[in-house]
Amino acid sequence: MTTRSQPMVSEPRKALRVYLHLKDRILSGTLASAARMPSEPDLAIEHGVSRVTIRGALERLAEEGLVERRPGSGTYVRAASRSGAIVADFSNVFTHLVEMGRRTDVRLISFGYASPTPAVAEALGLGPGEEVQRSVRVRIADGTPFSYLVTYVPKRIGISYSEADLRSTPLLELLERSGARVASARQTVGATQAGPEIAEALGTETGAALLSITRIVKDEAGAGVEYLYALYRPDLYELQLDLERTKRGSAMRWAAKSPVATGRPANATEPRNPKKTGTGKRKTTR
Amino acid sequence: MTTRSQPMVSEPRKALRVYLHLKDRILSGTLASAARMPSEPDLAIEHGVSRVTIRGALERLAEEGLVERRPGSGTYVRAASRSGAIVADFSNVFTHLVEMGRRTDVRLISFGYASPTPAVAEALGLGPGEEVQRSVRVRIADGTPFSYLVTYVPKRIGISYSEADLRSTPLLELLERSGARVASARQTVGATQAGPEIAEALGTETGAALLSITRIVKDEAGAGVEYLYALYRPDLYELQLDLERTKRGSAMRWAAKSPVATGRPANATEPRNPKKTGTGKRKTTR
């Protein structure tokens, strides 16, 4: 009887590790672009995994445009560009998408009234017992879901529009139509791993990295109008900001350039995913 | 002989799934704040895992301040605030840290000259065969590593400072000292999963979600001065931007407020991690 113990790390977990390891090396430039990668058997030995696992990792890198697989020749590192993603400035995502001629759509997952969490109540400056209208939407560009949006609106504003309105009209437009004088917002940007439900809604894997944005929107009087918690697939969507070097006192500092509609970055090439190149226009929510 | 097959998902993987599932429900408000969580045995049955796995997931949520464990009483949901993170605007991270009185430090992992990847060469507008000075640094705040920075500088600029300079002085200061007239930058913000090496450098787990920033810095003539690929632990660091609602033509749009040093968000409470509350000042690199 052999005493070989059960492997501690499952095969999918190993494939993830190998994929992330190779991706790190490509993105950090350790594996030079255009270089031929080691062969699948060599990579399998190096990482102590099966060739099937190596193949899975390389295929995922190829899907993301980080390597190119040339049949009969091998796998080659590509430039570390992420040209397939939607690139927008920090503020006008959907205006920007519509201007780019992308077909966007929304799937309303839930709509209802509830008690806010203390964080939401505090951020929106709600009184005790004040309810919020809570909605969960998935945003779709050219057929591909790329963002998951949870919004909270004070009930007194939320009752001015219906579930049907939210399926067809940007939330901010609904808020302004209801008379809210939207004046300012504070955005916080982070990252998180997808849980199983959000992963499924976004067509990605549990544990995948997502870009997160929390936005607290206020009116002219400083009263809370909307609290947004948004998650984005970073392979499909990135934020962009242009900065200027300016003098403040004796020190040089970065300042945000007044945003204009931004295009793709200078190094953008053809989109990787043909599903994302539609040209129809469609009314959009947020 | 039983025919029960080997579980397809390993126990650590299950713990991750349970943790992410519960975190989703807390952050999206499905599990109300202040609510008592189901008991460990009930959660174990609900998720089909062991109590040990449940305990691991709850401990991780407690470390992140999302639940509170009260001995003899149970586990309670806390507000979905992420008050332990450094919060800075998009531009002046380290000026901001120093102004906040945080002790920051840098660990230089590598320093050398190499051929750029095509993406870096294109972004910096380098000529054929032109080399870059490549450095990898880990940024530490009050003893905790929170960012992993890979920078590329054209060799003709890079030779004006040494490895020792980079250990003690902000890179942008070195660049400006060398005569570069830094004028603008384009920042792209995304998210990625940590590979094993970066995870180790940042004291986190392989696969953890990281905030990523790519910054291309140019001089007054539009020539590339620096290419930065930076990864941040989102539990320790978040970006913040204030927006104003402004009129452009007939449409209302968001515009970035001219950035000032930003403090913590209004809902910030005490830092969760006492290691992050030092008050010493220290010279800092980026």
Contact A255 B91 (CB under 8 A): yes
CA–CA dist B34, B177 (Å, integer) = 53
What pLDDT, on a 0 to 100 scale, did the predictor assign at position B201? 95
Enumerate the CATH 3.40.1410.10 domain ranges in chain A, comma separated. 86-261
For residue A249, is it left (φ>0), alpha (ψ between -120 and 50) or beta?
A: left
pLDDT of residue A117 exceeding 90, the answer is no
Which residues 37-76 in chain A show a CB within 8 A of chain B?
none
**The one-letter amino acid at B281:** K
The confidence score (pLDDT) of residue A143 equals 85
Res A272: pLDDT: 34
Residues of B in contact with A118 (CB under 8 A): 33-34, 79
Say whether A134 and B29 touch across the interface (CB within 8 A). Answer: yes
Indicate whether A226 pLDDT > 90: yes
Q: For residues A227 and B271, which has the higher predicted lDDT (pLDDT)?
A: A227
* CA distance to A153, A166, A215, B77, B92, per residue, from A218 (Å): 11, 20, 10, 27, 25
More confident residue, A200 or A266: A200
- Segment A82-102 shows an average pLDDT of 57
Considering CB atoms only, which of B176, B206, B255 is closest to A258?
Answer: B255
pLDDT value, residue B91: 54
| Minimum distance, in Å, between the CA of residue B44 and any CA atom of chain A | 17
Question: CB-CB: which of A20, A79, A239 is closest to B195?
Answer: A20
DSSP string over B56-84: HHHHHHHHTTSEEEETTTEEEE--S--TT
Contact B193, B207 (CB under 8 A): yes
Q: Which residues of A touch B253 (CB under 8 A)?
A: 91-92, 95
Q: Could you give the percent of chain A with pLDDT greater than 90?
A: 31
* Chain A residues near residue B92 by CB distance under 8 angstroms: 253-254
> What is the distance between the alpha carbons of residues A87 and A94, in angstroms, rounded to a whole number?
11
Say if the Cβ atoms of A267 and B119 lie within 8 Å.
yes
Distances (CA, A) of B64 to A246, B79, B163, B235, B273: 37, 11, 36, 8, 9
Architecture of the domain spanning B11-77: Orthogonal Bundle (1.10)
Do B20 and A194 count as a contact with CB atoms less than 8 A apart? yes
Q: Where does the pLDDT of residue A199 fall: very low under 50, low under 70, confident under 90, or very high at 90 and above?
A: very high
**pLDDT of amino acid A124:** 94
Nearest by CB: B119 against A79, A114, A232: A79
The per-residue pLDDT string of chain B (286 residues; one tens digit each, 9 = 90 and over) reads: 444 444 455 666 778 888 888 887 777 666 766 678 888 888 888 888 899 889 888 888 888 778 888 888 888 887 554 445 565 555 555 556 656 566 778 899 999 999 888 888 989 999 999 999 999 999 888 888 989 999 999 999 999 999 999 998 888 889 988 999 999 998 888 999 998 889 999 999 889 999 999 999 999 999 999 999 999 998 888 888 788 888 777 777 777 775 433 333 223 333 333 333 333 333 333 4
Q: Determine the pLDDT at residue A277.
A: 32
Residues in Cβ contact with B250 at an 8 Å cutoff, skipping those fewer than 6 apart: none
The reported pLDDT for the residue numbered A138 is: 94
Cβ–Cβ below 8 Å for B196 and A21: yes
Mutate to test the interface with B, among A28, A47, A215 (most CBs of B within 10 A): A28
Pairwise CB contact (< 8 Å): B119 & A10: no
- Closest B-chain CA to A150: B28
Q: Looking at A100-109, A114-123, A174-183, which range is the least confident one?
A: A100-109
- Reference A107, options A138, A152, A141; nearest CA is A138
Q: What is the pLDDT of residue B96?
A: 60
- The length of chain A is 286
Among partner residues A29, A119, A193, which is closest to B33 by beta-carbon distance? A119
Pairing of strands A86-89, A237-248: parallel
What residues form DSSP beta bridges with B227? B152, B216
Dihedrals φ, ψ of A167, to 5°? -75, -20
Distance (Å, whole) CA B237 – CA B154: 29
Instruction: Cite the beta strand spans of chain B per DSSP E.
Output: 67-70, 74-77, 86-89, 104-114, 132-141, 144-154, 182-193, 209-219, 224-232, 237-248, 251-256
The pLDDT of residue B85: 58
Interface membership of B110 toward A (CB under 8 Å): no
What pLDDT does residue A134 have? 94
Name the band, by pLDDT with cuts 50, 70 and 90, for residue A111: very high
Average model confidence (pLDDT) for chain A?
Answer: 78
Question: Mind giving me the DSSP string for B233-285?
Answer: -TTTEEEEEEEEEEEETTEEEEEEPPP------TT--S-S-GGGG--------
A115 Cβ under 8 Å from any chain B Cβ: yes
The reported pLDDT for the residue numbered B134 is 94
The CATH code of the domain at B86-277 is 3.40.1410.10
Confidence at residue B77, expressed as pLDDT on a 0 to 100 scale? 84
Domain with CATH 3.40.1410.10 in chain B: 86-277
156-175 of A, contacting B, C-beta below 8 A: 172
CB burial string B31-45: b at 16+ within 10 A, e below: bebeeebbebeebbe
* A233 pLDDT above the threshold of 70: yes
CATH topology of domain A86-261: Chorismate lyase (3.40.1410)
pLDDT for residue A259: 46
Query: CATH 1.10.10.10 occupies which residues in chain A?
Result: 11-77
pLDDT of A174 above 60 = yes
Percent of chain A with pLDDT over 70: 75
B77: closest chain A residue by CA: A117
